[in-house]
């Protein structure tokens, strides 16, 4: 029997492609962004695509409902307006549609950034979980890192599953040891590569050895925000291509090319890829949901709202902590040096010099002295700003 999927906040189809690889058939997409709609239409031309979740009257009967709702108000690098912000509060329409359902899905799946666990004392997470509880759903969530699936991108995301039929704990309760990766900023291993964001200002995501920090949608001004990679052994500093970013998110190269069909700039593709659900995470989850799960058991009522743990469970009026790390499995992670299909584009002098200024003057941006020495030499070799070169040389 064919398993079916309805997708809200579909983006470019991360959930959908991952679930399709696990045997699911999408019935409906709901996405308002024109560039994302172009990608969805090219990939699934025969699937119904509607615009605005606020105007969607009902959901067709299906096995799974997915909702990777907007993170702009919940992200550490975003507006921090919280769950009642203009964008992130659109998740309330998920609960409106669940409330009016005339069928019973096996699962509802939600994805978002882990900063929602602590922002405003965990208000966002408490709102989402309370809504599920009011509708009689048992729930479980877990922060999952894309590196668990062999992708050299440090990308933790909250994966939440809810059901009125099944025990959500069982869908998330696979466990593997996390990799032993030393990411201390003062340590440099010459045979490794280091990914970081050259756009970082007064705070940052730090760097990742043999990988990249989370692919982001871009700056508030709509400027593409590709991370940079430093190869110490090769004296190379550059940025990956958008095709490599697509692959870091589990998509085939060129997945978002159709987004430029109406004359949009390249930044549109970075925004789409940065906001996407990781395909390999989605495929793992789809396979987990297909396993045999018994009905929900009561949870221990020992979990209060606040700063939420990385994994938890709720059912029958109780909430409890789950002791699960960020790695549900452990596929060998391919080093970023060998993952890239194309040579990195050299980081511009202006970008490198701007980052160097901030790194040297912002206490919260802590990087290896060896790395900063390389940056100074890089700027001196590539720059044409005489005053800055004089300052760097002094």
Q: What's the N-to-C CA distance of the chain in angstroms?
A: 72
Can you name the residues that pair with 24 across neighbouring β-strands?
Answer: 3
Exactly one of 30, 62, 71, 379 is catalytic; which is it?
A: 71
Mode of pairing for the β-strands spanning 64-67 and 24-30: unpaired
Question: What is the Cα–Cα distance from 228 to 214, expressed in whole angstroms?
Answer: 12
Helix or strand holding residue 209 (H, E)? strand 208-209
Active site residue 71: yes
Which of 312, 308, 329, 310 has its CA nearest to residue 321?
312
Mode of pairing for the β-strands spanning 318-321 and 311-315: antiparallel
Question: What is the Cα–Cα distance from 159 to 141, expressed in whole angstroms?
Answer: 5
* Helix axes of 267-274 and 34-43: crossing angle, nearest 10 degrees: 70
Can you name the residues that pair with 228 across neighbouring β-strands?
Answer: 196
Strands lying side by side in the sheet with 311-315: 48-50, 24-30, 3-8, 64-67, 107-112, 156-163, 138-145, 311-315, 318-321
Instruction: Say if CB 50 and CB 14 are below 8 A apart.
Output: no
Return the DSSP state at 46.
Answer: T
Annotated catalytic residues are 71
């Amino acid at each position: 029997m064919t398993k079916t999927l309805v997708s809200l906040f579909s983006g470019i189809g991360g959930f959908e492609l991952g679930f399709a690889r696990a045997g699911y058939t999408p019935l409906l997409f709901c996405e308002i962004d024109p560039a994302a709609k172009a990608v969805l239409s090219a990939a699934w031309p025969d699937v119904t695509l509607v615009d605005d979740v606020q105007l969607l009257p009902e959901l067709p009967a299906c096995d799974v409902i997915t909702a990777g709702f907007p993170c702009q108000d919940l992200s550490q690098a975003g507006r921090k307006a919280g769950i009642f912000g203009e964008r992130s509060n659109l998740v309330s329409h998920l609960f409106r549609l669940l409330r009016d359902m005339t069928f019973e899905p096996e699962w509802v799946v939600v994805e978002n950034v882990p900063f929602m666990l602590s922002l405003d004392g965990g208000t966002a997470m408490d709102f989402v979980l309370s809504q599920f509880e009011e509708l009689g759903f048992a729930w479980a969530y877990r922060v999952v890192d894309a590196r668990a699936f062999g992708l050299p991108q440090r990308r933790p995301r909250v994966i939440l599953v809810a059901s009125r039929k099944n025990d959500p704990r069982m869908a998330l309760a696979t466990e593997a040891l996390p990799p032993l990766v030393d990411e201390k900023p003062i340590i440099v291993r010459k045979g490794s590569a280091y990914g970081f964001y050259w756009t970082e200002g007064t705070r940052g995501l730090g760097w990742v050895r043999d990988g990249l920090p989370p692919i982001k949608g871009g700056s508030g001004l709509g400027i593409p925000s590709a991370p940079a990679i430093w190869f110490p052994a090769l004296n190379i500093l550059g940025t990956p291509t958008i095709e490599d970013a697509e692959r870091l998110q589990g998509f085939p190269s060129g997945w978002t090319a159709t987004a430029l069909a109406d004359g949009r700039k390249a930044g549109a593709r970075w925004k789409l890829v940065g906001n996407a659900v990781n395909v390999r995470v989605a495929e793992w989850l789809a396979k987990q949901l297909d396993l045999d799960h018994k009905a929900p058991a009561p949870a221990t009522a020992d979990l209060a709202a606040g700063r939420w743990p990385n994994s938890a469970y709720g059912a029958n009026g109780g909430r409890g902590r789950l002791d699960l790390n960020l790695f549900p499995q452990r596929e060998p992670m391919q080093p970023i040096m060998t993952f890239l299909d194309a040579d990195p584009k050299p980081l511009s002098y202006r970008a490198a010099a701007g980052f160097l200024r901030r790194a040297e003057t912002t206490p919260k941006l802590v990087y290896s002295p060896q790395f900063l020495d390389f940056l100074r030499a890089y700027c001196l070799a590539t720059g044409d700003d005489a005053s800055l070169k004089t300052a760097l040389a002094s």
